[in-house]
Amino acid sequence: MPVRNLLARAPWWLIAIAAAYLYVFPYFPKIRSANELPRVYLTQAMANEHTFQIDTGVNRWGATVDVSPAFGHLYSNKAPGSSMLAVPAYEAVKLVAGEPGLAASLWLCRFVAGMVPTLLFLWLLWGFLARFAPDPGVRRLVLVGYALGSMAMTYSVLFFSHQLGAVCVGSSWILAIEVTERKRGVLAMGAAGALAGAALLVDYQAVFGAVPVAVLVIVRIRSWPRAEIAKLLGAAALGAAIPIGILLTYHTLAFGRPFRTGYDASTTFANFHQQGFLGITKLRWEAFWGSMLQPDNGLITLMPWVLVAGPGAVTLFKKGERGVVATAVAAIVIYVLFISSINFWRGGWGVGPRYITAMLPFTLPLVAAQLQAWKPRPIVLGIAASTIVVAVVIYCVSTVTFPYWPDNLKNPLVEVSFRMLGDDLVVPSLGSALGITGVLGVLPYFAICAGSLGVALYRAAHWRGLAIALAIGAAILVGYALLPQASLQQTEHVYERVRFFVGDL
């Protein structure tokens, strides 16, 4: 094939997203990240000492709050899957270049267990969403919105495992659907089961999305020949048993019992972790409001494009995609109930309700179908696409400034992110590695993000829709800037604390 044809067919949208992920390195050693350090320490312990005990990491690099003492040793209180996934890459780097330091280890873990899985998942989604949005421009817009304008952005470039869990359960869903439609065979069903089990291994709550997926499979194949049903369910069960067996073995070796998690052994925040199952106790209006609509943390406020999933569900249902709609809606309901009923629903500093990151893939077919339905109406499509503009600005700006919004501010987009840009404070990046500091060093990053969004908007809605989306998106962001903020004293106190964590970038 001629080089020109290869370049024309290259997935430039995916390459641009990869460039955005790789360009920045949000790293603040002083913050002592409670989510990332225990995971990195576990990767180092498994590679260097062939143990799950992270005593060496704690002694060498410093303590962090999310560790669990057990039998005289320290362990990560997280699900171990993301740390395990990073071990082969860590071993390879160690073999070639010697043992990497803490910062290099963290970047490596983020790359292997965050960025790469998300990029592969986006490619899988590209093919899957074609049935709901045949127009490539619409699909591209949906995927750019998801990759750069949601928690997928934050937790692909950080080592939190929420996005890895989303990738596992979302991929399991896609494979399971295609098996029940006889597009794939028994091996794919085994892979779907393995991915569902891996969701539990990497991020406990990610497995909730596998429940409606399992129901969908059983309902769809219930009239198939019994031998075929047994073969498919057996393959799925065998696939799931492998990662689940690894998890139960880890629990037993680290904490003494197969069903005793690191959270059960945790002493920090034990009053939250040790109530109910994964902290689930009772439904709370405060948790629902804070996770869905609150300006500093709400899913709908920070990612308003998810609202398009509502009419999208109706559109898909009318088109006969009832199984897809039922599974997606069930997963959404499960995760909304989950985040509304756990006592530690805010989960500390972050950009959005991170515990329901695994819900987002289930919204994408609904969003894609509705944007496709609005394709002949550029004005309507432009209005809808303005919600993607808002989300991309919020997540691209927060990622390049401080993707750990403090939980005691009312409007951290303004009080932290925009203010840091004004103060010329941004995260380490390829630009700063080349000696170009401050905002000037991340201008290529902003160009990549803006270019990806602009091209996606134009291809989906053309010039009129693009102009409408940008104008309304800008107006919404101005409105966000006018939302109430914390008291001046509180804002200054928190911002000074952020400045301390940022240090001399």
Indicate whether 424 pLDDT > 90.
Answer: yes
| Angle value at C-alpha 280, between 110 and 239, nearest 5 degrees | 55
* 370 Cβ contact list (under 8 Å, min separation 6): 308, 309, 311, 312, 315, 384
As a whole number, mean pLDDT of residues 413-440 equals: 94
Residue 291 has a pLDDT of: 93
| Mean pLDDT lowest among 98-102, 136-140, 219-223, 497-501 | 497-501
Q: Is the dihedral of CA 391, 395, 401, 402 positive or negative?
A: positive
Residue 142 has a pLDDT of: 98
What number of CA atoms fall less than 13 Å from residue 142's CA on the CB side? 34
As a whole number, mean pLDDT of residues 349-364 equals: 95
Percent helix, strand, coil in the chain, to 5, is: 70, 5, 25
Q: What are phi and psi of 68, to 5 degrees?
A: -120, 120
Task: Assess contact for 427 and 183: CB atoms under 8 A.
Answer: no
Higher pLDDT, 158 or 7: 158
Distance CA 17, CA 397 (A): 15
What average pLDDT does the chain have? 92
As a whole number, mean pLDDT of residues 109-130 equals: 97
Summarised one tens digit per residue, pLDDT across range 85-107 is 999 999 999 999 999 999 999 99
Residue 9 has a pLDDT of: 65
Distance CA 386, CA 490 (A): 32
Residue 107 has a pLDDT of: 96
Q: What percent of the chain has pLDDT over 90?
A: 82
415 CA to centre of own chain: 24
Q: DSSP letters along 455-475, please?
A: HHHHHHHHHHHHHHHHHHHHH
Indicate whether 4 pLDDT > 60.
Answer: no
* 277 Cβ contact list (under 8 Å, min separation 6): none
Indicate whether 215 pLDDT > 70.
Answer: yes
Please report where in the chains the tokens 């350090």 appear, as a residue.
37
**Domain boundaries defined on the chain:** 374-505
As a whole number, mean pLDDT of residues 52-66 equals: 91
As a whole number, mean pLDDT of residues 362-382 equals: 97
Indicate whether 294 pLDDT > 70.
Answer: yes
Please report where in the chains the tokens 């421009």 appear, as a residue.
137
Q: How confident is the model at residue 502 (pLDDT cuts 50, 70, 90)?
A: confident
Indicate whether 379 pLDDT > 60.
Answer: yes
As a whole number, mean pLDDT of residues 316-324 equals: 95
Residue 505 has a pLDDT of: 54
Residue 277 has a pLDDT of: 61
Indicate whether 57 pLDDT > 70.
Answer: yes
Residue 6 has a pLDDT of: 45
Summarised one tens digit per residue, pLDDT across range 386-421 is 999 999 999 999 999 999 999 888 999 999 999 999
